[in-house]
Structure 1
Amino acid sequence: MHLAAHFPGVNATTVWADPRSRSQIDFSSFVHLARTAERGKFDFFFLAEGLRLREHNGRIHDLDVVGRPESLTVLSALAAVTERLGLAATVNATFNEPYELARRLATLDHLSEGRAAWNVVTSSDAFTGENFRRGGYLDRADRYTRAAEFVATARELWDSWTPDGDSRPFAHDGEQFTISGEFTVPRSPQGHPVVIQAGDSGEGREFAASAADIIFTRHGTLEAGRAFYADVKARLAAYGREPDDLKIMPGVTVVVGDTDAEAQEQAYEIRRQQVSPQNAILAAEQLWGRDLSAYDPDGPLPEVDPVVDSGLVKGRVLHGDPFAVVARWRAISEAKGLSLRQTVIETTTRQSFIGSPRTVAAELTAFVDERAADGFILVPHLTPGGLDDFVDRVVPLLQESGAFRSEYSGSTLRSHLGLAEPVWKG
């Protein structure tokens, strides 16, 4: 299996109130998690992106992280303190340009001697676009059109240098970009940085099948994972690709205890920390699109209907139809006798893998064996020590069983992932 480490950031997973939690912007935090992942022989270290501080009811959301450094800068520094670990940056294809981003990624690939990766994300969000001169003009239907041409253009730039080190002029004339000139960075050690895509929509799956090396998903159950895996892998043939050309890696959380029972107790306490009374009201307001500050988080669910596109919460993505989600929450609350806060805990924060080291290792292995995933991107609940237990207690069992590498066999990220170097297209 393949394993990656996600640096905790702006999400409901991170427990900032834990006394062991440290800074999300201090370089030592990045170093700790990256070195832990490399000690565990992980494939890569993954940074998310946030281009604007989230707002709630017209104010900066004070339960969020308010600082998030630029990913490629952090990873360039980490290249100097790691040796084999892949370095993956999330960079938006909507608010960047191919020439400059291709140059920055190629530079990271050289600095790290072939360990760079780009997680391609898109945005049609005018709220985020307000931080950029052209604003959020991009129609949602066009975001993957731009992203696909962006990736193709970046690859043209990377291929404008031959494997022998000769530079050739480039010229691209498309619907999204018209550029020409000479690229300033020689062909990198991997040929191209690894491309990651995060998305679950039909458009996102098709984009991944056509252009990505890894797809980052959010399917945590075996059944959902198998369905997603089969669907995406079946799309590859249309682009002349083999099933192993695209690695499917869901983001997962893990709680490890001495026994399964102890791990369950720890998981319950973590969920309570993740969903404070304030966070429970926030989650409900995001879903209902209403000010619910008058409601008791330990009382029943609001009896009112949701308001669609109210603009109360900005910078967060709501998955699914709010009326359907509210109906599901109400059914769960009524069936189990849960308060609002308990319902939020039940529906939004369930850990993916909980148990003793041996239980967790067996369940991870089963996911891969049953074709629900090719590996996992671990999202710890603590910064920066949230991976320590997993690396110290679970990884040795995976290595012992032969499910995971004991040593790196190559030096580039492509070699870790079993991906061939791209054929040069001169």
Structure 2
Amino acid sequence: MLNYRSVREQTLALTKGLSAEDMMLQSMADASPSKWHLAHTTWFFETFLLQPHLPGYQVFNPHFRYLFNSYYDAVGERHPRPQRGLLSRPGLNEVIDYRRYVDEKMDELLATLPTSLKPVLTIGLHHEMQHQELILTDIKHALSLNPYAEGLTSASAVKRHSVTDHGYTEFDGGLVDIGHAADNGSDDNFAYDCERPQHQVYNAPFALANQLVSNRQWLQFIKDGGYQRPELWLSEGWALSQQEQWQAPLYWFKKDNQWYQFSFRGRHPVILDEPVCHVSYYEADAYARYAGARLPTEAEWEQAATAQPAKAKAQGQFLTVDTAHHPAMPVQSGLQQLFGTLWEWTHSAFLPYPGFTPAQGALAEYNSKFMINQMVLRGGSCATPAAQIRSSYRNFFHPYQRWQFSGVRLAMTLDNEV
């Protein structure tokens, strides 16, 4: 069971080392300032729990309803997303005071919280964990644009032996159950509406690569002209890569004929046997064609992850407040990294499952309105809280987006159809 105070404190802990100026930065429309994340997650509890359910509750600031709404049209109008970085007021101290005020009022509500409101509380906590990850991804993008910015952590590179296993694990396929059951007897029964209902899907026999594609493999893709070969790319991806002049993953740059990357440790040479990170769906798909393989479907990924979820998740590299938030290769051979390390692009569009019913009320807007023009990613990353992830979890992003901790796992159909 998630603890309200623990989740909220972890969010603040992730901003340690950031200045007030850092926390105002918005480097692109897809990202948001850290200060905005702190306020928006607080707005969620105020809007969906305190205002309607705590008798006599007085809002902290009536203007916050407009300033810190994200996309809930049913709640009301909102400040334009691309202009969040222009909100110098309220200042950071006032946002921290806002969090403190709401947390104190939430303590009052939690003391007598009726059972009917527990699902809303749980969604709020999972929503906050999603924004913990976004705080990291968004500030990383912002800091990367400063040529003299240092990393956020003094942690050195993770010193661990990397096992490079280029093999595949085979699966029989057949009819498999996909999605989250209404009651599967697990300790954590929470799931978003887009993960339901559980249903059967037929998978042809397939194989998944044991490990994620590495920087070493990606460098070979670059050397072999992967970013200059239109036959490898989807038409939209090729047009965008040419327009944006992509030559390597996001945060990579070349100096004195050597590739470097920006991470939370600062700028350093690309580490060859770490998994390639910050690539779009278009790049992932192009690499898979180059490798004579394909991306897995989400049903294939979930079949593999469901086979031994406890063991696979225990091996995962997830978010903590005292790590470098940087993906590392596994220390074992065989099928690894299904949970944690990097989000894995799948070949599946983010669409409703058969029989899907969105959540009711204002929270109906949480997932269903985004089921268009986006692709599913699975598994979580080194910036994802472990409590947020399960075998059925469906993340989704547009195919051009690269600032998330996204990587590549290859798949094959065992009858050699790719």
State whether TM-score is above 0.5. Answer: no
Q: Tell me the TM-score normalized by structure 2.
A: 0.27
Q: Tell me the TM-score normalized by structure 1.
A: 0.26
Q: Higher relative contact order at CA 8 Å, sep ≥6: structure 1 or structure 2? A: 1
